[in-house]
Structure 1
Amino acid sequence: MTESERTLSQQLAAFAVDAATHGVPAEVVTSVGQRTLDVLGLCVAAHRLPTSAAAIGHVLDQGGHEQATIIGEPTRVTAAQAAFANGVLAHSLDYDDTHLPSVLHPSASVVPAALAAAEHAGASGELTVRAIAVGLEVAVRLGMAGYDSELGNSVFFEHGQHATSITGAMGSAVAAAVVYGLDEQGITDVLGLTASMASGVIEANRTGGTVKRLHCGLAAQAGVTAAQLVRRGFTGPPTVLEGRFGFFQAWLHGQFFPEAVTDGLGTEWSVPGIFFKPYPANHFTHTTVDAGRALRERGLTPEQVAEVVVGVAGSTVRTIGEPIEVKRAPETGYQAQFSGPYAFAAGLFGGGGLGTGLDDYSDELAQDPARRALMAKVSVVAHEVCDEIYPFQFPAVVTVTTTSGEVLVEEVLANRGGPARPLTDDELATKFRDNVAGRVGDDVAAQVSDDVLALHLAPDLASVLRPLSTITHQGESQ
């Protein structure tokens, strides 16, 4: 069969088997190690949330064979349930990585799925790294197939769909299939099954609710489950992506770009260019945080602010600026993570971590009178310059009028953590240490960091994950 005769799923399956067999580029191996460490740190940190306790409690109630590790939980569970729990943990703080311009968060589902399946299968660290790389690439390419360059936005997003969990399920499935040793036909079938399990609605970004925290867990669980079912004989349609009643028709009403799936497949890797998050909040808010920090460094204080106009890409206003009365007065730290006014306040007041940290998005600070007073002065509007750049970056142009009548402008046109403003190895290490601080000892943190960054050399996953099976639980909540 020639390449032109293969369906999209068959081409992705051939790519996955080739990468699993022959390896991936060195820069991809390095990037996968960094992203795995990032995800594990997020899983530890997310134990502060009551939703995390709820998800883990739900899993433990199911019982089952001890196949894989939930981060922070000594009781092992089935691989699919571990993937679910760790996927929930990884995405719950909105601190996980982002691919642009597809605007999806691939690692929070793919990494948990791959780790759970690999631990269950007894796969080597080398194969696990290759599986994660392939899963991330598949998720990103399917996300990009829904990116309309003329529209300047993801068609998934325009339809109210969460591409993160939809394409994340597909990437998770391929990653799990690789560590379970499925061949091209098996991986094609896995994609065929998972397309019936992938889902996600994004309304919670606008008006609240914690359901979004489940999305990457459900995606990871779907991927592992699909791979296991194919091992037992289930099959899927080879045309599941482009077919008349397939994935792209169902989600995008047939408006998709197949070349994004196949062009450069196996030679051009998206993985190293995925953006790390320096701040634990919706990625659309990050440059507004940076603008607030920059104005603080210029000497501006909250008391000097009379009015603030946060200019962003028009497509992001509905997420971080609407309804404005909600965004100016978030009731919880979680709502604050999706608030443009809060992002400016967080930057101007200053915080921990790499500029703002986890403790800067608490319920208490969301309701702090001083921050509320500042947020009441902030408007979020579409800005022409930002529209020209989005969604390759999430820029912000912030204009402040002071009480003395002075007008200050701060432009942040590229996101920190991406290729234009990369985080250093020390900054990534700082983020990991900040995420696990108080929950694991410094020696354990150092050991895990070393082991995960060298994951491709590990004989198996159990020894790498074991130090994170028990953590100290603290009484914080969001």
Structure 2
Amino acid sequence: MPLQRTRGRVRGATAELAEWAASLRIEDLPDSVIDRVLAHTLDTVGAILVGATQPWTRTVAEYASVESPTGRSRSAALDRTLRPEWAALINGTAAHGFEIDDYALPGLSHPGSVVVPSAFALGEDRGISGRALIVALAAGFESIVRFGEACTPSLTSHRGFHVTSALGVFGSAASAVSVRGLTAERGLAALGIAAAHASGTTEFTRTGGDIKRLHAGMAAAAGIRSAALAAGGFTAPLAAIEGERGFLAAFVEQARPEQLTAQLGHRWALDGLALKRWCVCAGIQAPLAGLDAILREGDIRPEDITAIEVGVDRATLAHVGHIGGSPRDMTEAQMSLHHAMAMRLVAGGNDPLHYTLFEQGLDVGAQADRVSLHVDDTAEEAFPRRLLASVTVRTATTTATTVRAEAPGTPTTPMDRDARLEKFHALADPLIGERDAVRLVDAVDALREDGPVSVVLAHTRKAQHTA
């Protein structure tokens, strides 16, 4: 929205978002929004459990344990409780730590891995109710998805920033504004301080490294810090997001600032939230669905396949098509379309259990060399509102088989509650046991009736002891 000056004050998107986050109440949330928030909360907790066992999360947990005083906020990776900023750093890293966390269309950020760790860490610290936590979660999810609408795909495609960290910090800050009950004026400062924390590039899609895992934790911790500084009276630019030298100008070549506030409070952008089926980049979900359909419905054995041709949109091709079939680390493996398709054929799937085989040295390079990628016009036209792919499989003895697939778990191909619970238990049961997993599901559901916030992460305590 354009800047307006009222009695010397600047009013634009930053101010409007702050006022909305500060004033949001449970009565403002439709049942469908509460349902979606709780579904993505449970999904994120499942991702935290898996990510808590990974070496990069343990490194962050060791660092946080040294630096943080004792607090009231739990993490799935430590026995002791920490101050909120540090607990959010760990749990955000864990949530984003194994590529099984949620994402959003059209923004392609990972809101849950930022908002859930942030809201729970601060919510536990301040002893808020379950319903107050839902409000804070809704504020955070909605903010990130709207930023995605305003910035995608230009933020990544033109500048190389990573949406989860660059946009996630605003969702964490909005959530913290809600938890702390800040005024609109202090909320404006919090968002302005958050803009100064926005960061993170996508060089991991080229040369790997653990850093992608940290991006969600960085954003979650920085949003909490931003709100704390704002609560103490620290100030920030009044138009930190939309101003002449604000976030949008610095980070986005082709921004759509009107999406930040269009029908705010009436149209819920978080309807664009999506769940992953497999623990690989969101852009790889549709190709895997296509390959699965061919293998499931056709009379084709993986060992008979001589070529796989995959068509995706240009942005996806740039994001997951560069690494090729011989990744050097887990990040590259989960960001490689060539490797993921080969893993499906050689290992039989793309779930966390299958990727332990990669860590043990499984080489799928021969199959990965049979995968070729190209731009598919239909997928290009649909992106970023929908993630589509065409998949063609060739063998030496049959004619080519081609399917067109869409990423499962998206708004147009949603997972129902049974499918969501199946995914959650597949992640959680091996780590904390079926009994605690059931209790965790019940604890998340109980938030709707003002159930205690602290109970949810209490059930994750076993994950840290499972390697």
Same fold (TM over 0.5): yes
Cα contact 1:44–1:71 (8 A) shared by 2: yes
Map of 2:391 onto structure 1:
398
Cα contact 2:443–2:455 (8 A) shared by 1: no
Map of 1:76 onto structure 2:
81
Map of 2:415 onto structure 1:
423
The one of 113, 116, 125 equivalent to 1:108 is 113
Map of 1:364 onto structure 2:
358
CA distance in 2, matches of 1:16, 1:228: 15
CA distance in 2, matches of 1:9, 1:167: 14
CA distance in 1, matches of 2:160, 2:444: 35
Map of 2:426 onto structure 1:
434
Cα contact 1:83–1:112 (8 A) shared by 2: yes
Structural mapping, 1:109-188, within 5 Å: 109-147=114-152, 153-188=153-188
The one of 448, 453, 460 equivalent to 1:461 is 453
Amino acid at match of 1:341: H
The one of 337, 347, 351 equivalent to 1:340 is 337
Q: Using the TM superposition, give the Cα deviation of residue 366 of structure 1 relative to its aligned residue in structure 2, in angstroms.
A: 8.4
Map of 2:282 onto structure 1:
283
Cα contact 2:92–2:216 (8 A) shared by 1: yes
Please tell me whether residue 59 in structure 1 is matched to residue 38 in structure 2: no
Cα contact 2:109–2:164 (8 A) shared by 1: yes
CA distance in 2, matches of 1:189, 1:419: 34
Q: Using the TM superposition, give the Cα deviation of residue 400 of structure 1 relative to its aligned residue in structure 2, in angstroms.
A: 2.1
Map of 1:384 onto structure 2:
377
Map of 1:88 onto structure 2:
93
CA distance in 1, matches of 2:399, 2:109: 39
Cα contact 1:113–1:220 (8 A) shared by 2: yes
Q: Using the TM superposition, give the Cα deviation of residue 331 of structure 1 relative to its aligned residue in structure 2, in angstroms.
A: 3.7
Amino acid at match of 2:418: D
Structural mapping, 1:282-301, within 5 Å: 282-297=281-296, 298-301=298-301
Spell out, residue by residue over 1:310-349, the C-alpha distance to the aligned partner (whole angstroms, 9 max, x if none): 1111222222221xxx421224443221111222223445
Please tell me whether residue 473 in structure 1 is matched to residue 465 in structure 2: yes
Cα contact 2:208–2:329 (8 A) shared by 1: no
Per mean C-alpha deviation after superposition, the further-off stretch among 122-131 and 21-30 is: 21-30
Structure 1 residues 18, 232: CA separation in 2 closer, same or farther (over 3 Å shift)? closer
Cα contact 1:102–1:154 (8 A) shared by 2: no
CA distance in 2, matches of 1:336, 1:437: 25
Structure 1 residues 218, 472: CA separation in 2 closer, same or farther (over 3 Å shift)? closer
Q: Using the TM superposition, give the Cα deviation of residue 472 of structure 1 relative to its aligned residue in structure 2, in angstroms.
A: 5.8
Amino acid at match of 2:393: V
Q: Using the TM superposition, give the Cα deviation of residue 350 of structure 1 relative to its aligned residue in structure 2, in angstroms.
A: 6.7
CA distance in 2, matches of 1:98, 1:366: 28
Per mean C-alpha deviation after superposition, the further-off stretch among 17-26 and 207-216 is: 17-26
Spell out, residue by residue over 1:58-93, the C-alpha distance to the aligned partner (whole angstroms, 9 max, x if none): 111113131211124220011000011110000011
Amino acid at match of 1:436: A
Map of 1:28 onto structure 2:
33
Spell out, residue by residue over 1:232-290, the C-alpha distance to the aligned partner (whole angstroms, 9 max, x if none): 1111222111112211112125x422210111110011223301111110011111111
Structure 2 residue matching 1:75: 3-state secondary structure: coil
CA distance in 2, matches of 1:258, 1:143: 10
Structure 1 residues 401, 139: CA separation in 2 closer, same or farther (over 3 Å shift)? same
Spell out, residue by residue over 1:438-466, the C-alpha distance to the aligned partner (whole angstroms, 9 max, x if none): 22121111011011023132343123322
Q: Using the TM superposition, give the Cα deviation of residue 41 of structure 1 relative to its aligned residue in structure 2, in angstroms.
A: 1.0
Map of 2:259 onto structure 1:
260
Map of 2:207 onto structure 1:
207
Map of 1:328 onto structure 2:
325
CA distance in 2, matches of 1:163, 1:364: 27
CA distance in 2, matches of 1:23, 1:350: 47
CA distance in 1, matches of 2:444, 2:262: 31
Cα contact 1:103–1:154 (8 A) shared by 2: no
- List, as ranges, runs of 4+ consecutive aligned residues in structure 1 with deviation greater than 6 Å: none
Cα contact 1:113–1:176 (8 A) shared by 2: yes
Cα contact 2:119–2:133 (8 A) shared by 1: yes
Structure 2 residue matching 1:296: 3-state secondary structure: helix
Structural mapping, 1:295-310, within 5 Å: 295-297=294-296, 298-310=298-310
Structure 1 residues 454, 350: CA separation in 2 closer, same or farther (over 3 Å shift)? farther
Amino acid at match of 2:198: A
Amino acid at match of 2:355: Y
Structure 1 residues 363, 209: CA separation in 2 closer, same or farther (over 3 Å shift)? farther
CA distance in 2, matches of 1:304, 1:474: 38
Cα contact 1:334–1:361 (8 A) shared by 2: no
CA distance in 1, matches of 2:393, 2:463: 44
Please tell me whether residue 221 in structure 1 is matched to residue 213 in structure 2: no
CA distance in 1, matches of 2:356, 2:396: 29
CA distance in 1, matches of 2:308, 2:49: 36
Structure 2 residue matching 1:196: 3-state secondary structure: helix
Structure 1 residue matching 2:465: 3-state secondary structure: coil
What is the aligned residue count? Answer: 460
CA distance in 1, matches of 2:207, 2:269: 32
User: What is the TM-score with the length of structure 1 in the denominator?
Assistant: 0.91
> What is the RMSD of the two structures over their aligned residues, measured on CA atoms?
2.0
CA distance in 2, matches of 1:159, 1:140: 19
CA distance in 1, matches of 2:451, 2:274: 29
Cα contact 1:169–1:223 (8 A) shared by 2: yes
CA distance in 2, matches of 1:63, 1:248: 33
Map of 1:150 onto structure 2:
none
Q: Unpaired runs of 5+ in structure 1?
A: 148-152
Q: Using the TM superposition, give the Cα deviation of residue 172 of structure 1 relative to its aligned residue in structure 2, in angstroms.
A: 0.3
CA distance in 1, matches of 2:29, 2:267: 11
- Percent of residue pairs bearing the same amino acid type: 30
Q: Unpaired runs of 5+ in structure 2?
A: 6-10
Map of 2:18 onto structure 1:
13
Map of 1:241 onto structure 2:
241
